[in-house]
Amino acid sequence: MRIGELAEKAGTTTRALRYYESLGLLPARRTSNGYRTYGDEDLRLLRQIQVLRDFGFELEETRPFVECLRAGHPEGDSCPDSLAVYRRKVEELDALIGQLQGVRAQVGAQLARAERARDALVADAAVPGGPEPRCELGTERGSHGRTA
């Protein structure tokens, strides 16, 4: 299988595959004319990379998994290094989620506050004498009732 075919099977581009090879992540054998050649095994490695990248792993973080597979283990996460990456990632995710939830709460609060302030101003504008005038200190005569 050549690079174009592998890329198509995996739903990626030849550029990505060449990039992975430049990182030593997915090395390829070569035919006599210099073309890269891949086997089904390489497709497995590539899929492992893609799954983790879809999770948001950096390419370097997928390396232990790929090397684990290349070492002949049944799964990419059958090795201690892979498990360590999993654990680190879970911690990172928990920290990040917590942080984002904090930000979310703060932004939500700011939004609510700003909207209340705006509504107060709008209400003021609707009642030209100010918001809910309590008592009339002006001239005795004139409108004694509130506006509607």
Partner DNA sequence: ACTGGCCTTGACGTCGGCGTCAACGTCTAC
Partner DNA sequence: GTAGACGTTGACGCCGACGTCAAGGCCAGT
Partner that binds at residue 15, options a second copy, DNA, none, CB closer than 5 to 8 Å by kind: DNA
Q: Which residues bind a second copy (CB under 8 A)?
A: 55-56, 75, 77-78, 82-83, 86-87, 89-90, 93-94, 96-97, 100-101, 103-104, 106-108, 110-111, 114-115, 117-118
Contact status, residue 3 vs residue 12, Cβ threshold 8 Å: no
Least separation, in Å, of the C-beta of 113 and a second copy? 8
Helix boundaries (H) for 1-148: 3-10, 14-22, 40-54, 59-70, 80-126
Contact status, residue 43 vs residue 26, Cβ threshold 8 Å: no
Structure tokens, 135: 């008592």
Q: CB nearer to a second copy: give 38 or 65.
A: 65
Distance separating alpha carbons of residues 36 and 27, to the nearest angstrom? 9
Q: CB nearer to DNA: give 36 or 85.
A: 36
Q: CB nearer to DNA: give 34 or 72.
A: 34
Least separation, in Å, of the C-beta of 13 and DNA? 4
Least separation, in Å, of the C-beta of 63 and a second copy? 16
Please count the other Cβ atoms lying within 10 Å of the Cβ belonging to residue 18: 14
Distance separating alpha carbons of residues 132 and 124, to the nearest angstrom? 8
In which residue are the tokens 């006599």 written? 32
Partner that binds at residue 14, options DNA, a second copy, none, CB closer than 5 to 8 Å by kind: DNA
Q: CB nearer to DNA: give 99 or 116.
A: 99
Partner that binds at residue 89, options a second copy, DNA, none, CB closer than 5 to 8 Å by kind: a second copy
In which residue are the tokens 């030849």 written? 14
Distance separating alpha carbons of residues 3 and 35, to the nearest angstrom? 8
Partner that binds at residue 78, options a second copy, DNA, none, CB closer than 5 to 8 Å by kind: a second copy
